[in-house]
Amino acid sequence: MVSPSMRRISVLVVSTLLSIVSRGYADVSTRATAGEPSSSASAPLPVSIVAEKVELPNGLTVIYDEDHRTPIVTVNLWYHVGSKDEPKGRNGFAHLFEHLMFQGSKHVPEDTYFRFLEKAGATSINGSTNTDRTNYFQTVPRNQLALALWLESDRMGFLLDHVDEATFESQRDVVKNERRQNYENAPYGLVFEAIYGELFPEGHPYRLLTIGTPKDLDAATLADVKAFFRTFYVPNNCTLVISGDIDKTTAKSLVDKYFGPIPRGDDVARKKPALVTHPGEARIEMEAAVELPRVYVAWPTPAFFQTGDAELDLLAHVLAGGKTSRLYKRLVYDLQIAQNVSASQDSRELASVFEIVATARPGHSADELLKVIDEELDKFRKSGIEDAELARAKTSTLADNIFDLERSSSRANRLNTYSHYVGDPNYLARDMARTTDATTVGVVDAARSWVKAQDCVVTLVTPNPRAPVAGRVVTIKRGGK
């Protein structure tokens, strides 16, 4: 149940966002273009973040964010290693390390990491891996900050004192089982493996799934694990965010105490964003032991925070962001040939992916859905977008972003996101300006430039009870339908 006070806050935030959208965000845009700190004088955001970013002598980047609204603190670490950074033949190593990091370290016995934190009242204890980074996070009562920092520093500095062959093999088995459960035995579970294998050229680091392949995981050795850790799990390849009810002087003292003595590692080479285009349309025909046909359409698009990225986020909302969106209204409501439809701009460090996914209703085919999707996209490219559509997309996007910042763990992760991708944890106002400053012309130009009728990968999944539930490729046709 939502309390009256929270309801008033929600109404205030939405009203403020509507005001920002209608009045524009010119001051922020001008200053951001000039490289100056953003100002919110003309249209203040209902939330702000002013964090301090420092670097320790060993290269560890630390971001301090004081937020005294609730007596909790989130500790959030990003190691700047994801599946894109894995050596050839070692797909899945970044994700494997996410598991190994929770098993124990020199001063933390096996399988006690969670117990230490849970006894202290911690929440949101977890980690995740994607193509670009691996993160670890926990939210603790403010008087338990030292515990969280000690645990994180011990596994950064002393993980290899604990990891042995038994721990390595057990976690490798866990990861392989996770792949079986979430991919190989899941409906449509391996469709994206086929899509990314076609969307990105041979050798591109986004071509493979983050979960890894059984072949590469089986080929791994404990020596490989130790080499991977020494390369990537070093202070100078990590950013630590401490966000919440902190005394900054005390927090800095604790960081110096626990992380300061950990030696710096070799510098890690960074891969650079590069535009990817698909050479003409490819059509993947797949079969799966599923009940309903499904269609996927995917395009390679600009990297996170680059020109066009924000406009494609708004395009996704206009196409499938709610019951009044173009694809939902046409496929689900008017024609009633689809169960659901979604669109998204999956923003990443080197290149992004814009994708549309629709599941057919019983009695209808993936080809029927694709025909309507093509019609709506063609209509959008030719006729553009209405002001009201863009305003709704802006308001929804801003509201989602700002409400997300009310959660301590999300706020800390946002700071790490900004620091990693643009080098500035205080990028919130300029990030919001990417949305508020977007124009109908800009969104249509982005669609025409990136979401073309060609240069995409179309995947049609047809039900077949004799096929694997995760899907199998039947044919791939390149160069047109």
Separation in Å, CA 158 to CA 104, 256, 406: 9, 17, 34
Question: In angstroms, rounded to a whole number, what is the distance separating the alpha carbons of residues 433 and 27?
Answer: 9
- Give 417's contacts (C-beta < 8 A, 6+ positions apart): none
Q: Which letter, b or e, does each residue of 347-374 get, where b requires 16 or more Cβ atoms within 10 Å of its Cβ?
A: bbbbbbbbbbbbbbbeebebebbbebbe
Structure tokens at 304: 């996170």
Residues 185 and 188: their CA atoms lie apart, in Å, by: 9
| Nearest by Cα to 423 from 206, 262, 270 | 270
CA distance 297 to 370: 8
421 phi, psi to nearest 5 deg: -90, -30
134-141, strands of its sheet edge to edge: 52-55, 61-66, 238-244, 72-79, 134-141, 123-129
Q: Which position among 86, 98, 198, 376 bears the catalytic label?
A: 98
Contact 398, 437 (CB under 8 A): no
Smallest Cα–Cα separation from 83: which of 73, 71, 92? 92
* 386 is an active site residue: no
- Residue of 477, 82, 453, 472 whose CA lies nearest to 299: 453
- The backbone torsions φ and ψ at residue 165, rounded to the nearest 5 degrees and listed phi first, read -60, -40
Q: 75 in helix, strand or coil?
A: strand
Residue 365 has phi, psi (to 5 degrees) of -110, 165
Q: Which residues pair with 75 in a beta bridge?
A: 138, 242
Radius of gyration of the chain (CA): 24
Q: How far apart are CA 278 and CA 299, in angstroms?
A: 8
| DSSP H stretches of helix in 321-472 | 326-327, 366-383, 387-404, 408-422, 428-436, 440-450
- Going by C-alpha positions, the residue among 263, 189, 53, 58 that lies closest to residue 471 is 189
Enumerate the active-site residues: 98
